[in-house]
Amino acid sequence: MILPATIHSSATSLRDDEFAGLCLTGDFVRHFGTTPAHRFSPPSRSATMDQCPSSNSLMVHALPVAYWYEDYGIGGGSKFADLIFTDPEAGESGGASVFFEYKTALSEVAQPICVLVSAQHHGTSPKQITSLLDRLHGTPKPDPLNGYEEYGCRNWDGYNAEPITEETLRYARRLLSAMPSTFGPPDIAPCGDGSIGLEWVLEAGPLQKLFLDIGPSEEWWAYWKRRTGEIGRLSGKSFTRSTPDILRRLFDDLSR
Amino acid sequence: MFSDGDAAENGDVWFRVLTQKDHIKRGRIHHSAFTGNAISSPDPNKNRPWSRELSGRLRSKAGTIKNIEDFAVAFCDKLTKAGGGTKTFCGVMYAKVCAIRKPYRDILTLGVFFTPLKADPAHADVTFSNCIGETREAREALMLWLTDQVEGLHHPGQVHHLPEANDRVSG
């Protein structure tokens, strides 16, 4: 008997951007939820990722996050069938709010299983999903802002700090996903003004320290001190196609 | 005899209770610890001769390390009860008074003054005289400098490394 295999992820009751955040940071690997009581209405089928209609891809801010397709193999001779549904009532963006994989073995009563998104047959292997997302976005990283929701209230530090809003948090996750690794991972801490502070303090090289504050809202400010004592600054707003390049050029410049 | 508003002695140590674990990184204080209302205007009723202050405590007035830790835990409990989520004593930032009492870029002078409160007889402020520029650029430059002027100790496990005032042995 083939069991409904490895269940390794879920993305339930999430808005598309939050879902994207989880995809991008790898959080999906760590979360597993039970199947909510939704009615499913499968979208049209497609055969391969290349043939995926646009309605079967999740785009968030013009960034492709995931693709999926369906195979109605249940009861038709397949040992496994991956049916990946979206909840049509879940919202815009192709109903990307809730994803389910419906999986069964022939000898068993079909049972729905929450998983993320797979573009492959029998796509419950973590390797398959990981490799897909790796291909799309690079190696997933643990969410460095895990738990930051607790700073969403005023005075979270006891010194009258401003809340870190959901908007700031989403933006920070997005920006962090595009942050160059030139100087390694940043030290991250919540700021009393409702922003999120990143800093790199380096033992050697031309750069002594780089601070980068994200928020409040969709703005960032980088400021740094070179070992020569020279101070510089750069800022940006929102997240556009050029944002990763701007950050990369900044880090490249500071490393020289 | 020390009075409210007196300058701290050079041999003393100023420290501030931290409630956010990420504000200390490998013995350094993260610049986030200075943001928001951390550096604020003094009480206008007190007519202080400085324009901004960062509140904390004086080592010489705070008692033993156990006294300091007990105070910090009680302080966090009190803050927690005041709302805004649980506050936990995560450590301290500190600086020797003689080391932090210095000018910054010829536009700002830092000092440490004894400013006791009913709730904290050891209360003291790092003070900023003249003016801190109100522009974001000025604040950023100050952050880059200020983070080099203080050090951090985690709790639990490190606060016993907090230096004594005048190198006296704590009781």
- Whether A122 is in a domain gets the answer yes
Of A155, A159, A195, the CB nearest to B38: A159
pLDDT digits (tens, 9 = 90+) for A73-90: 333 333 222 333 333 333
A-B interface: how many C-beta pairs under 8 angstroms? 87
- Whether B2 is in a domain gets the answer no
Q: Residue B75: what pLDDT?
A: 93
Q: Which residues of A touch B77 (CB under 8 A)?
A: none
CATH code where residue A194 lies: 3.90.1150
- Whether A10 is in a domain gets the answer no
- Whether B5 is in a domain gets the answer no
Q: How many domains does chain A have?
A: 2
Q: What is the mean pLDDT of residues B35-41?
A: 91
Q: Do the Cβ atoms of B28 and A211 come within 8 Å?
A: no
Answer yes or no: do A174 and A101 share one domain: no
CA distance A113 to A125: 14
Of B31, B80, B136, the CB nearest to A211: B31
Q: Do the Cβ atoms of B23 and A189 come within 8 Å?
A: yes
Q: Residue B107: what pLDDT?
A: 76
**Widest Cα–Cα separation across chain B:** 45
CA distance A185 to A201: 11
Lowest mean pLDDT among A26-40, A221-235, B116-130: A26-40
For residues A246 and A236, the answer to whether their CB atoms sit within 8 Å is yes
Q: How many domains does chain B have?
A: 1
Q: Which residues of B touch A233 (CB under 8 A)?
A: 137, 140
Note the ipTM here: 0.90
Choosing from A137, A160, A186, the residue where a domain stops is A137
Q: Which residues of A touch B30 (CB under 8 A)?
A: 187, 189, 197, 199
Answer yes or no: do A45 and A117 share one domain: yes
The per-residue DSSP string of A155-173 comes to TTTSS-PPP--HHHHHHHH
Of B38, B75, B84, the CB nearest to A153: B84
Q: Which domain holds residue A124?
A: 16-137
pLDDT, averaged across chain A: 61
Give residue A173's pLDDT band: very low, low, confident or very high (50, 70, 90).
Answer: confident
For residues B85 and A153, the answer to whether their CB atoms sit within 8 Å is yes
Give B120 to chain A, closest Cα distance, Å: 15
- Whether B145 is in a domain gets the answer yes
- Whether A4 is in a domain gets the answer no
Answer yes or no: do A170 and A196 share one domain: yes
Q: Residue B85: what pLDDT?
A: 81
Q: Which domain holds residue B65?
A: 13-167
Q: What is the mean pLDDT of residues B78-101?
A: 90
Q: Residue A251: what pLDDT?
A: 96
